[in-house]
Structure 1
C-alpha cells in the first residue's frame, strides 16, 4: 500500500485529509445482542486494539464507557434509548436521515481537546444483508472501522477484511496501517496529507 492509497483512506468527502486515533484507553459496551455475540464483539474489539498496540480499560473516568455499540432492527429504536439524545447531538434528525437513506450502519465520533478520538457510538441496523453476515465477520468489521477515523468512503470499494480459507481475517496491509497509525512517535491527529508518507514508511517496518 503506497502513500496515495493511504491518503485516499483518510480523505474526507470535503477533500480534507484527517487521520485520528484514540487518545485514551477504549472501554466498550455492547447493546442488543445475546451473551455469546457480546463476547464475540468484545473479543474483536480487543483483538484490533491489541493489534494497534493500544489499550483497553475497565472504565473511562469521564464517560464510564467510551465505545458504545448498538445492534437493533429499526432506527426508531434509538429514539427510545434513555439519555442517548444527550450523548449524540441531533439524534432525532440523524435517525430520520438514516431511515430515509435505508442505511444499515453509522458511526459517531467525539474528540478531545487535541482532536484525538475520545468516544465513539456505533449503530448497526440488522437488515437482511447484515443478518446473513456471521457474527465474527460483522464484529471484526465494526472494530476495524472504529479504531481510526477513516474516510466515509474508505471501504466502499474494497472491504477491510479478506477471506483466508474458511476464515475471515483483516487484510494484512490494513492491519499494518493500523499499527503504523498508533506508532507513539506519530501525532494522534494529522491533517496534512504528508502524514500518509510517514505511515507508508512505517508500514514497511511492521508488515
Structure 2
C-alpha cells in the first residue's frame, strides 16, 4: 500500500517537478483540446483509457474534442510488445525525429514506456505520443492503473526526473487499481489555472503554482 498522507508540496518540491536533469526549468500544459486515439489494444481497454483521459482532463479543467482541425488526433497512445515495432510502423518516423536512435536507446535501457511531445509556437503542448511496451511488469498492472499513469504523465510536461523516486499514483489495495495522489491532483489543477501562462522557463513559476495549492489546516 502506498502512503497518501496529505503532506503539502513545498515550493522547492514543485520546482523539482519541472526542473530537468540538465538543470533547466521547463513547464508546459496543453494549449488546445485533447483528441486521443489508441492503438494496439482491444475496444474494452480503449474505453478504459479514454475514461482515464476524460477524468484527468476534467480534473485539470481542460477540454477534449472529437477532432483536432490541424492534426486530427493530437494524443496518440501506442501499445506494443517490442520497441522494434516502432521502426516498422509506416510514417512514425515523421512524428518522432531520430526514431531509430530513440528505439535503440529504449531497447538498451529495457524501458517499458516513452513519451514524446510537440509544442505550439508559444510553448504550450500541441501533441503527445505515448508508447507503452507490454513487458512482464506492465502485463501484471491493471489496465486502469496503466491508463491513469500515462495520462497523468502527459497532461503537463513534467521533468524527466519528476517521478523517478516516487510514482504519481497510490495503490490502496494489493493488486487493485491505483488512484492519483492528492498532491499531484492539486498540482495539476494549479497548472491549469487560466491566469497562469501555458508555458514557462522561469523557476519563479513554481512559486506561482505553489501559491495555488490548497493549504491544510
Q: TM-score, normalised by structure 1?
A: 0.96
Q: In the TM superposition, what is the alpha-carbon distance from 1:96 to its structure 2 partner?
A: 1.2
Corresponding residue for residue 199 of structure 2: 189
Tell me the CA shift for residue 13 of structure 1.
Answer: 1.1
CA positional deviation for 1:139: 0.5
1:87 aligns with 95
Q: Which of 34, 37, 41 is matched with 1:29 structurally? A: 37
Match of 2:168 in 1: 160
The residue matched to 1:204 in structure 2 has which SS?
A: coil
Name the TM-score, length of structure 2 as normaliser: 0.92
| Count of residue pairs brought into register by the alignment | 206
1:29-81 residue CA offsets vs partner (Å, 9 max, x unmatched): 00000111110011111110010000000001111000000001000111121
Q: SS of the residue aligned with 2:213?
A: helix
Q: Which runs of 5+ in 1 are unaligned?
A: none
Larger displacement relative to structure 2 (142-151 or 192-201)? 192-201
Instruction: Report if aligned partners of 2:149, 2:168 keep a CA contact under 8 Å in 1.
Output: yes
Structure 2 alignment gaps of length 5 or more: 1-8
Higher helix share: 1
- Aligned mate of 2:58, from 50, 55, 76: 50
- 2:118 aligns to what SS in structure 1? strand
- List structure 1 segments (4+ residues) > 2 angstroms apart after TM superposition: 163-167
In 2, distance between residues paired with 1:29 and 1:198?
Answer: 33
